[in-house]
Structure 1
Amino acid sequence: MKKICSIILLTLSLNSFANEATNYSFVNVDRTIKVEFHLTSKKTPSYKVFFKNKLVINTSELGLLREDANFYTDMEIIKVSEAKALNFNYYMLQGKRNKISYSANQYTVSLQNSTGEGMEIIFQLSRDGIGLRYHFPKTSNDIKKIKEEKTTYNFDASAKAWFQPMSKAKTGWKETNPSYEEHYSMGVPANTKPAIGEGWVYPALFNSNDAWVLITETGLQGNYCGSRLVYNDSSKALQVTFPQKEEIFPNGALNPESQLPWYTPWRIITIGSLKTITESTLGTDLADPAIPMDTSFIKSGLSSWSWVLLKDESVNFETSLQFIDYASSMNWPYCLIDADWDTRIGDAKMKELVAHATAKNVKLLVWYNSSGSWNSTEYHPKGKLLTHEGRVKEFSKLKEMGIAGIKVDFFGGDGQSMIVYYHAMLKDAATHQLLINFHGATLPRGWQRTYPNLLTTEAIKGEEYITFTQETADLQPSHCAMLPFARNVFDPMDFTPMVLDSIPNIKRKTTPAFELALPVLFLSGIQHIAETPAGMAKMPKYVVDYLKDIPTNWDDSKFIDGYPGKYIVMARKRENVWHIVGINGENTSKEIEIDLSFVINESGYIILENDKGFQQQIISKSKNKKFKVTMKPNGGFVLKV
């Protein structure tokens, strides 16, 4: 009997050891990316990431702690699936590419905890990266609550990071933080802790073992909160972390809670060169597909906007008329009328503005304050969008007036109840055929695919901050040269770019050609242009003509050259026309060689600048398939072929 018991114990011990020690390898189609998965000695799920056989993410932990169950330690592997090939195509109404193909190998790891409850970890390895998420397959009628996510990213000590600090909730002007509006830390050790003390927002860029790695999340539904990265001293790794306690809709949930079954958002790891990072569509590939809706009302394009340079007093009937005419003269489809329009102009006069704009082939966008009690902002209309009933009433009025869309400002953070608020507003706006622009808001995390009426989102320290302080203006060149490598890789960004003339009371550090490049460099379904009619009137005719024909939805995008925070050159195509733009984020001249072999057309022009201002040159591809461009310090160029 003792001998039989010893054999059984030895067998169980060997099986347990085998479960812990077994490495499972997951690879993408072309075998450039590999994930090694296993259980640690504590039976915690863990993984490593290799790119071209080089280790880029060291052993990192996975798992979740629910209030009712532990899915982090004492886990057992029940089954690991074979690779399942995934292939699909989808279409985007805005962004770097409109027709997108996705293919990946999917692997599902089925585990159970010490009480026999199941959890799956799903890995999808595509050519440009990894998506991973958790799934509770069981069905329950009661609400389950996750108190901590244990997903980590463990980089080697030599890895460098480019990322943006998370602000402290309820700080800043009128307690409006957090809104993803801090300056980036660039090229710092990956274990750096921000001075603010609240971790780092997505997307976060890393250079590890000669590979570039971009980490973010997508597929964020109303059953989860937005997350961020905080360095964990115990695990010596960056950990996915939930929001600060203040980041909630009044009396709403902070951390994730849901019935089962339950899928968590995708954790995304894009891997490769800077070309891979900037050309990737992984953030929309793994986002939820578009909801059923009529998209015929959705049109992207440029917009005039008085407030950014002229501030509150510009929100009046006469100035609005001027900016409508300005948009019409520039062939821009929109004009945005900002805060307090409901009293400074009023509904009756707004209807007159709509009629005037319609005659000029321009549509109007109007501003709203999203907030209830979570900050002390006074701008209005305020408090009208807090409930479904309130939104239906307000959106019905706007639809009847002929308003095309709304800019909604001053959200309250990333708690689950706030995420529910975003989703509810997008759905109600879609029903009433209204376009949406979120300001003072969170990163959209692929929502523009799920809700095609979401044209853009701020979530960045943009042009309006440059108009506020000289310190922000001084940092603009490197800040702008950072954004195509992180914030604007996947999600539309309402930076509200381009001041060609001057900013009141600010000494601009960028040159006019730098500014001219931004509406093409930055991706946004609606590009709100900061320049005023008076400033535009000072520009050469060829600059004005160039700005009359700038797309915001592209057939293709190509990375030409660049480095985060220093410079970038991007090419974007619409039909058979290529727009190639570059900016120099440093205070020294930079010479770039551009290979035009990918361009079909033979001729075009380039707008540069010299000491006297803009200059235009005709170029011919047949004569110069490769040619060199010199960007002035903090300067830029635009090239159209």
Structure 2
Amino acid sequence: MNLKSFQTIIFLLLASSAFSQKMFSPNHQITVDFSLKNQQASYSVSFQGKQVLESSRLGLIREDGDFTKGLTLLETTKSVLIKDKYTILTTKKSNITYTANRQVFKLKNAHGKKLDIIFQVSNDGVAFRYFFPENASDIKKISEEITSFNFPEATKAWLQPMSDAQTGWEHCHPSYEEFYQKNILAGIISPIKAGWVYPALFQTNGTWVLLTEAGLDGTYCATRLRAESPNNEYKIGFPQAPEVFTGGELNPQSTLPWLSPWRIIALGSLKTITESTLGTDLAKPAIKIDTSFIQTGKASWSWIIKKDESVNFDTTKDYIDFAAKMHWEYCLIDADWDTRIGYDKTKWLADYAKTKNVKLLLWYNSAGDWNTVKYHPKGLLLTHEGRMKEFTKIKEMGIAGVKIDFFGGDGQSMIKYYLDILEDAAKVQLLVNFHGATLPRGWHRTYPNLMTAEAVKGFEMVTFDQAAADEQPAHCTTLPFTRNAFDPMDFTPMNLYKVPNIKRRTTSAFELALSVVFISGIQHFAESPEGMAHVPEFAQKFLQTLPSTWDETRFIDGFPGKLFVIARKSGNKWYIAGINGEGINKELTLDLSFLKNKKGQLISDDETVLLKESSFDVPANGQYKISLKPNGGFVGVFE
């Protein structure tokens, strides 16, 4: 046998042999097992010795090469402990430290083309991404990603169906505006063929798992989970054909080298899930901009209750006065302001608002041919030149930010459009709110001027539809564990008095609690000046002094769709908020040991008045008993 034949045999033996490498979280509670068997890559995940994900597939297919089979291992790097620290204003805590063990598996396919799979395992979950390390100036295209999440039998799921592209009112879908299906058996086919959105929540073997992605830039499309998950194996899905910016790319394409977004698996207890910051930990660091113009806050907004006719000079002036009275930082002027009020009078309103220490936000239609929505201004933001012209114009008028609505989906070109808007707005120092939009996926870390995004079936739907109002209690107690777990969410909450033509199912204390429960860089409140006039002074004072940025968050109690109780700290004050997602009375014992012997003020429901105020004294053992009315809530403040 010659040397060449011997080397060939050795290579074939190595290629056919199985390889397995375990990785651990810093606290050794999470174990990830990477495997290469039959020249295919896979991984599995365990938590405290119990299987969370069974053998799940890894790999992608490029048009010029298959990286799902025929793989051989070139090198495994040593496990390295990495740390990152960053500050962020628009999530559950402001100063964050991320620590994880990092390991890279360097592979090549049957034709010698290279692929790295990068894993990072932290105490709150697992993240991995793909990297094509070679250099190439020609465009490479990914036709499929076979990444999967293979759950054990009897896993339960809380999943939101993905709307089919260009369906719905004025063909405005998809916009992540379906209700979550709650506590269903994993493996059930989505009722909508587009699949399931992130974040996707599961419970298996006593462990909670939340799937999402981050690190998404203009070189990849946003993904989702496919509609079908045979044997509980959920696979990554790509957008539908219409989900593109006019004439743009749908699926991922780029030159090399090329990094994919992170696939994120947060796991552990519900406390771990709700306190985790993996969605921003894995996002790209903030772009270098002057951040002095970035201010979180609260906003008055006429359209949510009064609709189109409220977009006029007089009503807007009233809502500026309303924001000033409530010590809120912003007032939003919605669709058709350019003709109903006009640029000149809008500038007058901006000047007037400035005297009241209030800033204005203006609505825009993202436009394009992806829907038939008539609202305007429309067609002004489609190009860099158009954006810079309009953004500069309104900045000179004294406008603080923009709300941009009715985007067209998750294709790569549409993702580029989002990011181009954020970059151009940052240059002009404008804040941004995306509506009718995709999940932000950690963009608020990368682009600090992104204050919030809708991507939720929000309170707007309650004002339209009794069925949405009926679902709201369970919906709102699901969102903190799912949609709002990592990314700011413009639910536009808090109607304390009444909704025209709708019977609200939540109590006023439930609605008040949403001001603390939900995270949004700018919280657009749904209450009107007329409604607020019925609210007792102590509750108004609470809203006048409510923080917009949180230093710390602690999960207290809850279950998706049934209950949520959270504690958030700002400065030297702790805010406790709870909401009951079910139409039954609940007697709770809350572990508030970190507040033992402290006295605070409680706002809760009452049979005879809109809201009542009482003392909130935590006993020495830290166990506080509280009653929650059906679909009720409470807020407490400790200093």
Return the TM-score normalized by structure 1: 0.97
Q: Are 1:616 and 2:618 matched, yes or no?
A: no
- Match of 1:517? 513
Letter in 2 for 1:567: L
Shift of 1:52: 0.7
* Alpha-carbon distance, 1:594 to partner: 2.1
1:122-161 pair list within 5 angstroms: 122-161=118-157
Indicate the residue corresponding to 1:425 in structure 2: 421
1:22 paired to 2:30:
no
Find the aligned partners of 2:232 and 2:5 in 1 and give their Cα distance.
Answer: 40
Q: How large is the RMSD of aligned CA atoms in angstroms?
A: 1.5
Could you tell me how far apart the structure 1 residues matched to 2:37 and 2:233 are?
16
Deviation at 1:40, TM superposition (A): 2.9
Which consecutive unaligned segments of at least 5 residues does structure 2 have?
none
Change beyond 3 A, Cα 1:6–1:88: closer
Superposed, which structure 2 residues align to 1:52-201 within 5 Å?
A: 52-201=48-197
Q: 476, 483, 505: which is aligned to 1:480?
A: 476
Aligned with 2:353: secondary structure?
Answer: helix
1:401 aligns with 2:397: yes
Secondary structure at the residue paired with 1:319?
helix
The separation in 2 between residues aligned to 1:111 and 1:9, in whole angstroms, is: 18
> Post-superposition shift, 1:159?
0.5
User: What pairs up with 1:82-481 in 2 under 5 angstroms?
Assistant: 82-232=78-228, 237-481=233-477
1:625 paired with 2:609, answer: no
1:470 is displaced (CA, Å) by 0.5
Q: Residues of 2 paired with 1:39 and 1:211: CA distance?
A: 26
Q: Indicate yes or no: 2:41 matched with 1:34.
A: no
| Contact 1:128–1:270 (CA under 8 A) maintained in structure 2 | yes
Residue identity in the other structure for 1:450 = T
Distance 2:103 2:622 in 1: 44
Q: 1:365 to 1:6 in 2, by over 3 A?
A: closer
Letter in 2 for 1:635: G
**Distance (Å, rounded) in 2 between the aligned partners of 1:585 and 1:268:** 28
CA shift at 1:595, angstroms? 2.8
- CA drift of 1:8 comes to 6.4
Cα deviation for residue 5 of structure 1 reads 9.4
Deviation at 1:197, TM superposition (A): 1.8
SS at 1:251's partner residue?
coil
- Distance change >3 Å, CA 607–CA 623, structure 1 → 2: farther
Asked if structure 2 preserves the Cα contact closer than 8 Å seen for 1:395 and 1:429, the reply is: yes
- Which of these residues, 584, 600, 604, is aligned with residue 600 of structure 2? 604
TM-aligned CA deviation for residue 561 of structure 1: 0.2
**Matching of residue 638 in structure 1 with residue 596 in structure 2:** no
Structure 1 position 201, deviation (Å): 0.3
Q: Secondary structure at the match of 2:363?
A: strand
Runs of 4+ deviating beyond 6 Å: 4-9
What amino acid is aligned across from residue 25 of structure 1 in structure 2? Answer: K
Partner of 1:555: 551
Would you say the 8 A contact 1:218–1:284 is kept in 2? yes
Q: How far did residue 355 of structure 1 move?
A: 1.3
Any gaps of 5 or more consecutive residues in structure 1? none
Instruction: Give, as a single letter, the amino acid of the residue that structure 1 aligns with 2:15.
Output: S
Amino acid at match of 2:28: R
CA distance in 1, matches of 2:399, 2:597: 39
Amino acid at match of 1:475: E
Between the aligned partners of 1:486 and 1:621, the Cα distance in structure 2 is 30
Alpha carbons of 1:312 and 1:147: their partners in 2 closer, same or farther (altered >3 Å)?
A: same
Contact 2:190–2:228 (Cα < 8 Å) also in 1: no
Measure the CA separation in 1 of the matches of 2:11 and 2:228: 34
Deviations 1:486-539 (A, max 9, x none): 000000000000111111110101010100000110000000000000000001
Deviation at 1:11, TM superposition (A): 4.0
Larger CA deviation: 328-337 vs 595-604:
595-604
CA distance in 2, matches of 1:311, 1:531: 13
Tell me the alpha carbon deviations over residues 361-399 of structure 1, each in whole angstroms, 9 at most, x when there is no partner.
000001000121111000000010000000000001011
The one-letter amino acid of 2:323's match is A
Name the % identity: 54
Amino acid at match of 2:132: F
Q: Tell me the alpha carbon deviations over residues 585-621 of structure 1, each in whole angstroms, 9 at most, x when there is no partner.
A: 0010111212332138832110111211311111234
2 CA distance for matches of 1:562 and 1:619?
A: 20
Q: For residues 530 and 159 of structure 1, what CA distance do their matches in structure 2 show?
A: 37
